[in-house]
Amino acid sequence: MPNHEFKRALETILAFAEDELSLATNARRRSRGKEVDHQQGRIEAFEAMIAVIQPHLIPDDPAPLPDLPLLRQSKEDNNEKC
């Protein structure tokens, strides 16, 4: 997967996570006063996703891309095609 496609995928995931975080936060506000807050886990999960993705999308000082097995395999596949 070329870097621009990977960046676009990260941007899409980030937009999804931000939308879901907003939905979970709003649902949490509506459920105030109830014994169990079912939204807390969702809020924490989406905050974590955003925290991991955002550093890779800052153009001035991009963080290195994670070295995941699927990414390594994809890079190797791309090198073989060339």
Q: How confident is the model at residue 77 (pLDDT cuts 50, 70, 90)?
A: low
| Structural domain that includes position 56 | 3-81
Please choose, from the candidates 24, 52, 51, the residue with its C-alpha nearest in 3D space to the C-alpha of residue 40. 24
Please choose, from the candidates 78, 72, 58, 56, the residue with its C-alpha nearest in 3D space to the C-alpha of residue 2. 78
pLDDT higher than threshold 80 for residue 62: no
| pLDDT tens column, 3-59 | 778 888 888 888 899 998 888 888 888 877 665 567 788 888 888 888 888 887 766
Number of domains in the chain: 1
Query: For position 68, what pLDDT does the model report?
Result: 55
State pTM to two decimals. Answer: 0.54
Query: For position 57, what pLDDT does the model report?
Result: 76
